[in-house]
Amino acid sequence: MKSISILGVYVADLAFFADEIPIIGETIIGKEYFIGPGGKGSNQAVAAAKAGVKTFFISKIGDDQFGSMAKKIYDEAGVDYSKVIISKEHVTGAAGILVNSKGQNAINVVTGAGGALTKGDIDNALSTITTSSVFLTNLEVPKEVAYHALKMAKSSNVPTILNPAPASEINEDIFPFIDYFTPNETEAGFYVNHKVENEDDAKTASQQLLQRGIKNVIITLGDKGAYFANNKESFHVNAMNLGEKVVDTTGAGDAFNAGFAVALTEDKNIKDSITFANTTAGLSTTKVGTANSMPLRSEIDKSL
């Protein structure tokens, strides 16, 4: 059976909604708050499972209340978390999320147990990774752990996706192990050292990234869609036209990466895979929250 394996962290999201995001030294009165499941890898696993593909999540959580919240959402979404380590030594991570009236956000993540993952933990999940149809990870886990997992996946010819978020320096020698590199506009800007705000910027940035040895680049541009490039072709794919339906963009990038992984697993071509990913991401912005906002397969199919 085809499957996706995802390496990442789980954190509890503490989200606070107000008209504006406060600046340093400022206190504002907010409108509402909620506590829910989050963390890039965890969100991606929930989104992939809800989109209809067998999904394994590889991570570490604490033996605490936030960890129990994680297991509950995995049970509900159908995520296989047999490779999630329950640690007595570490607390489960948490993220403070500030969201303004336009749905824009600022986030502070403390990775907790997930940040304590080791290469040995990856070795214990090796058979899950090497028998997957697609392997997806990001940079919330320790870098040496992400690199080790990418190498393990590629050693078994498993297609790999690196969502380079949060953006930080990546060893050049790891690029050959990445099949798909999926930064958003801010992250892409970090890696090419100039602003990426539109399709033309994305075109320039993707060429710079390809020159560094990455095989396929997908730069997500929020409501401007996504730009794809490799050494053979390049094109832009429009986002869903949602207008006033957008209420919270938190987790949209995670929905995109999960949707893209699902589409690859189902052998869709690259353009159709990005359209599927855009639809998954778009639908996630119409609900508040991250993992809880990920759409069901029936909702995605209906919107394609």
* Residues designated as active site: 254
CB 288 within 8 A of CB 81: no
**Structure tokens, 77:** 């979404």
What whole-number distance in Å separates Cα of residue 108 and Cα of residue 21?
A: 13
Using DSSP's 3-state secondary structure scheme, residue 256 falls into helix
Q: Which two tokens stand for residue 287?
A: 């609900």
Cβ proximity of 182 and 229 under 8 Å: no
Q: Which residues neighbour 76 within 8 Å (Cβ) at sequence distance 6 or greater? A: none
User: Tokens representing 162?
Assistant: 């690196």
Terminal-to-terminal C-alpha distance of the chain = 25
Amino acid in the structure at residue 60: K
Amino acid code (one letter) for 67: G
Alpha helices in 57-158 (DSSP H): 65-77, 119-124, 126-130, 143-155
Identify the DSSP state of 133: S
